[in-house]
Amino acid sequence: MDLFSPVHLLLLFLIVVLLFGGRKIPEVMKGLGEGIRNFKEGMAGTPPAPPAQTPPAAPTQPSSEEKK
């Protein structure tokens, strides 16, 4: 008997989706990937790369109704 059959993997995936929700999963996976990358860099003795930063959102112009 296999350790993880396709049915087990499907149930595991459904439980993860129920616990975290569809929108949180990419954030969790990104954090996990960054953690693994930092661990590997630490084991290799190289300094960790700075975290990627997203540019700030452009400010929006107030509408004519908000100016009054």
- Interatomic CA distance for residues 28 and 25, integer angstroms: 5
The pLDDT, as a whole number, for residue 65 is 62
Please check whether residue 57 is in contact with residue 63, taking contact to mean a CB–CB distance below 8 angstroms. no
Q: What is the pLDDT of residue 20?
A: 80
Distance separating alpha carbons of residues 46 and 54, to the nearest angstrom: 24
User: pLDDT of 1-13, one tens digit each?
Assistant: 567 788 998 999 8
